[in-house]
Amino acid sequence: MAACIFCKIIKGEIPCFKLFESDKTLAFLDINPLSKGHALVIPKFHGATLTDIPDEHLSELLPVAKKLATATGAVNFNILQNNGRIAHQIVDHVHFHMIPKPNEQEGLGISWPQKETDMEALKALFEEIKPKV
């Protein structure tokens, strides 16, 4: 896609600090890092959300994120992938963040608004989703 910043990075039109590259995957340092070593792992296949990417273009993404975590020495880290605006996606090209969490102040800060479980509703949801998987 012509206007996609990540596609421009893939084509070499915009420079990056490349950490890994294969025929299907590119990983580079984030230019607006949340912590030291914050990197992005992207498929070279353009798609806005995870469901837009063929499985064969997804196979390297998590192994590369794992390599980056190991390379940075991160013991605590987040792997983050957002889909859609209300899920906080800004760039419309699938990307995984590998964000080291060296201490309480650096890295990704999140809250987890856990809700009380309605077991009957959970069972109904299970019965709805399971046949589709």
**Residues labelled catalytic:** 95
Structure tokens belonging to residue 59? 């196979």
Residues 6+ apart with CB under 8 A from 11: none
d(CA 10, CA 15): 9
